[in-house]
């Protein structure tokens, strides 16, 4: 496997995987992404590249570079779009009036996992530590949390 000017068709092997991992780390470094997120992004890029190479959708090394770049750029774009909601704050503090208490009880009943995650974050636990205790990756946990918040917001906006 040569450098990016090598126009021979690629096959999936250890060199190809290492190239994708290196390209992903390079993009993470350029964009200031660090820690566990780098490992998650590497794995995402590797799986996407493997799938595309095996299905004949990527034929040249440049395509692998684009997959790594797009994986990292997508992550950065999603991270900047994640909305924080008042739902977290409502779960983390005592309600000031009886109506807030009813809302919290409903959230606890309808979305117990969200309450658990919000409470852990409010107590100062980092995403990585929470993910490790649950036996999942930090990226998976963040996606799960975002989906739960979105689901809860949709649920409560419909019921009001």
Write down the pLDDT at residue 82: 53
The domain containing residue 99 runs over which residues?
86-159
For 65-117, write each residue's pLDDT tens digit.
889 988 988 888 777 665 444 444 444 455 555 555 556 777 788 888 888 88
pTM, rounded to two decimals: 0.47
Among the residue ranges 16-30, 65-79, 116-130, the one predicted with the least confidence is: 116-130
Number of independent structural domains in the chain: 2
For residue 24, is it within any domain?
Answer: yes
Q: Are 113 and 138 within one domain?
A: yes
Cα dihedral 41/44/45/50 (nearest 10): 160
User: What burial class does residue 98 get, using C-beta atoms within 10 Å of its C-beta: 0-12 exposed, 13-18 middle, 19+ buried?
Assistant: exposed
For 5-17, write each residue's pLDDT tens digit.
455 688 899 999 9
For residue 6, is it within any domain?
Answer: no
Q: Which residue has the higher pLDDT, 119 or 28?
A: 28
Domain-ending residue, one of 81, 99, 121 = 81
Q: Are 144 and 90 within one domain?
A: yes
Q: Are 71 and 121 within one domain?
A: no
For residue 1, is it within any domain?
Answer: no
């Amino acid at each position: 496997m040569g450098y990016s000017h090598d126009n021979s068709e690629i096959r999936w092997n250890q060199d190809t995987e290492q190239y994708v991992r290196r390209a992903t780390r390079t993009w993470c470094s350029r964009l200031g992404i660090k820690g566990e997120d780098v490992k998650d992004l590497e794995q995402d890029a590797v799986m996407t590249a493997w799938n595309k190479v095996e299905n004949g959708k990527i034929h040249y090394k440049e395509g692998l570079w684009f997959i790594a770049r797009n994986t990292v750029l997508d992550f950065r774009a999603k991270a900047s779009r994640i909305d924080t909601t008042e739902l977290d704050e409502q779960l983390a503090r005592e309600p000031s009036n009886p109506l807030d208490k009813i809302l919290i009880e409903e959230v606890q009943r309808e979305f117990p996992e969200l309450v658990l995650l919000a409470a852990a974050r409010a107590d100062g636990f980092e995403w990585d530590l929470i993910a490790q205790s649950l036996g999942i990756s930090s990226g998976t946990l963040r996606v799960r949390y975002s989906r739960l918040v979105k689901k809860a917001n949709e649920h409560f906006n419909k019921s009001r």
